[in-house]
Amino acid sequence: MDKIVIRGGQQLSGSVRISGSKNSALPILAATLLTKERCVIQRVPDLSDVHYMLQILAHLGAEVERASGTVTVQAEKVNTVAPYEIVRKMRASVCVLGPLLGREKEATVSMPGGCVIGDRPIDLHLRGFEGLGAAVRVHAGNVKVFAPELHGTTISLEGKSGTTVLGTDNVMMAAVLAEGTTIIEDAAREPEVVDLANFLQKMGANIEGAGTSRIVIEGAKELHGAEHEVIPDRIEAGTFLIAGAIAGKEVTVNRVRADHLTAITDVLRDCGFGLNGTNGSLSIRPNGATKSLNIKTQPYPGFPTDMQAQMCALLSTVAGVSSVTENIFPQRFMHISELKRMGAAIELDGSTARIRGVGSLSGAPVMASDLRASAALILAGLLADGTTEINRVYHIDRGYEMIDEKLIDLGAQIERVKV
Ligand code: EPU
């Protein structure tokens, strides 16, 4: 297991090239199961979660090739069972359910468990499949969905915590091959859902309204092969913007979609940082005094839960008292106790973190608990005096392509050590 060692306090400057989006690439790769023909997906990030997805596709019978950022998948024949040994490694494996159900009218996937960011049910995915006419059985840790035929219908994906991103993806992927019209109400509006819908349309699906809360799908008889380039990773871009805010002279993120980053850039501007750029490239620099903030995570276009931990790291040294409320995963606060070990003054009150900005953080050995918590600890390490050692760093490799190399290029002193 590797660890990352950071000597904090170095000033960062320069530019960083943002990778393709993990959360777009995973469902798009799953969607290649919807056709017998060859699909070519570009700008696929080199991440362990992507490797797990490619393993699942291969297990299901697809031929998979990868040459740097381009993945080719051809699923001429598929089997419909994704076993625990593979699925347990990554929750997003659940998004093969929709395409398998759409194509083969049945799928069995090991039921994903909870994870460190909280309880993560799939009831809304299953509600959507049932709406399309599928039966759902949970047995021996597996969930099986099956139907003689799928029929279009109106489905609401509103749950007690709002809508669901992968649930919207899953229902959309099943509905593209259902008979008739499916209307998804209360759909997730994330750019990653739109990216998947764009790919499905290139495959011959008829989808309108992706990016709004009402998606209308006209079922097709079959889909064909297509080529697609994955959108830039807005969470990686946001993380590097915060690295620039924390330790930057001026840091530029290139190959981004600034329109996907508005909630993040608005918050950074409110905090007192200078941001400018075009839609494809954004720069951040310190701009004098910083201000404490009150933030709430929300579904897109609100402030993303996947940036909450990184924002907590930034606010740890911003003078005044900030509050960060987590509305999507109320228990997603494993980073707080580690940030406190580095000297941050944070109190948790239910799903709100109250952060009193301190003068400085001090380097310490810390433990990464999940992907975004790891990113937050790296950011805190860049800011801290002395050396920070981040253990269990495999979490970071699930979602950030070459984060250590990219930070070194910006001037960080960071080293990956084999343990
Ligand atoms: N929920 C339900 N029932 C369901 C599905 C979700 O109650 O059937 C609840 C969840 O418990 C949560 C809320 O709805 O409270 C939203 O969860 P959602 O289903 O939208 O999450 P997801 O689709 O499983 C994706 C991303 C996450 C990101 C969330 C929210 C992927 C692979 N994962 O997960 O990304 O946090 O949307 O934006 O796209 C990450 O990249 O670090 C990450 C965790």
3 within ligand 1 shell (Cβ under 6 A): no
Nearest C-alpha to atom 37 of ligand 1 is from which residue? 165
Task: Judge if the beta carbon of residue 92 lies within 6 A of ligand 1.
Answer: yes
> Tokens in use for 34?
């919807």
* 90 vs 206: which has the higher pLDDT: 206
Q: Specify the residue for token string 């008979």.
A: 179
**318, burial (CB in 10 Å: exposed 0-12, middle 13-18, buried 19+):** buried
Q: d(Cα 127, Cα 156) in Å, to the nearest integer?
A: 9
- Sign of the alpha-carbon torsion through 13, 246, 303, 294: negative
Give CA–CA dist 138/113, Å, rounded: 13
- Report which protein residue has its CA nearest ligand 1's atom 5: 122
Distance 233 CA to ligand 1 centre (A): 16
Catalytic site residues? 115
* Residue 324 β-bridge partners: 295, 353
pLDDT digits over 106-143, tens only? 999 988 755 666 677 899 999 999 999 999 999 888 99
Sign of CA dihedral 369, 293, 22, 124: positive
Q: Which atom of ligand 1 is nearest to the CA of 26?
A: 32
Categorize the per-residue pLDDT at 84 as very low, low, confident or very high, splitting at 50, 70 and 90.
confident
From the CA of 166, how far away is ligand 1's center (Å)? Answer: 7
- Note the pLDDT tens digit of each residue in 141-178: 899 999 999 999 999 999 988 999 999 999 999 999 99
pLDDT at 368: 87
Calculated CA dihedral for residues 116, 26, 401, 398, nearest 10 degrees: 20
* Pocket of ligand 1 contains residue 229 by CB under 6 Å: no
Q: What's the pTM?
A: 0.97
More confidently predicted of 90 and 337: 337
Mean pLDDT of 320-338: 96
Amino acid at 301: P
85: helix, coil or strand? helix
Q: Is 21 in the pocket of ligand 1 (CB under 6 A)?
A: no
For residue 147, report the phi and psi dihedrals to the nearest 5 degrees. -160, 140
Report the distance separating Cα 268 and Cα 244, nearest Å: 11
- Answer for the pair 60, 100: CB distance below 8 angstroms, yes or no: yes
pLDDT at 118: 67
Q: How far is the CA of 163 from the centre of ligand 1 (A)?
A: 9
In this structure, what token pair is assigned to residue 39? 């699909």
Q: How far apart are CA 338 and CA 186, in angstroms?
A: 36
DSSP line for 294-310 = EEEB-STTSB-GGGHHH
60 C-alpha to ligand 1 centroid (Å)? 24
